């Protein structure tokens, strides 16, 4: 049970960590425009393939579908955990998230910290709205298809 919980936490956190990597242009290699002060980064597993814009878009779509399927898989196995284990996992993930936010904030200059705090506030509002929507949706009668 403990190994499964750790594996699920790792699987759930991996996409978040990958998306937050600074200076990485993502799975398709460099983006179409300049980044980070005009510098282009040639990182990523597909950067050496000289992909066309259409190929990058198709790969981006495939990777997005994979991320969505992975999330569904993790949620499927999380649902099998006891409510106490689910709560413990959510609490631990939230604590880790707050720790990372605090570490990032400590690296920022005061004006950047203000902007970071504003971004965090907007994200918290969006999460609250999404939770409210999900609660409302769960109360709606299911339509027959």
pLDDT, one tens digit per residue, over 44-66 is 777 778 888 999 899 999 999 99
The predicted pLDDT at position 72 comes to 93
> Is 71 in the same domain as 104?
no
Does residue 66 belong to any structural domain of this protein? Answer: yes
Does residue 22 belong to any structural domain of this protein? Answer: no
Total count of domains within the chain: 2
> Is 87 in the same domain as 74?
no
Helix 110-139 × helix 83-107 angle, to 10°: 160
Q: Give residues with Cβ within 8 angstroms of 15, minimum separation 6.
A: 67, 70, 71
**pTM for the model:** 0.49
Does residue 90 belong to any structural domain of this protein? Answer: yes
> Is 105 in the same domain as 122?
yes
Residues of the chain with pLDDT under 50: 23-41
Does residue 28 belong to any structural domain of this protein? Answer: no
SS (H, E, C) 15-69: HHHHHHCCCCCCCCCCCCCCECCCECCCCCCCHHHCCCHHHHHHHHHHHHHHHHH
Does residue 50 belong to any structural domain of this protein? Answer: yes
Q: What is the extent of the structural domain holding 68?
A: 46-79
**H/E element, 143:** none
């Amino acid at each position: 049970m403990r190994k499964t919980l750790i594996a699920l936490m790792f699987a759930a956190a991996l996409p978040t960590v990958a998306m937050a990597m600074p200076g990485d242009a993502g799975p398709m290699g460099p983006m179409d425009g300049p980044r980070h002060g005009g510098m282009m980064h040639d990182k990523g597993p597909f950067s050496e393939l000289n992909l066309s814009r259409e190929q990058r878009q198709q790969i981006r779509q495939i990777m997005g579908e994979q991320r969505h399927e992975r999330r569904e898989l993790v949620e499927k196995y999380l649902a099998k955990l006891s409510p106490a284990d689910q709560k413990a996992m959510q609490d631990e993930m939230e604590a880790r998230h707050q720790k990372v936010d605090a570490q990032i904030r400590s690296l920022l200059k005061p004006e950047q910290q203000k902007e970071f705090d504003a971004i965090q506030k907007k994200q918290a509002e969006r999460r609250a709205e999404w939770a409210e929507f999900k609660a409302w949706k769960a109360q709606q009668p299911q339509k027959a298809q």
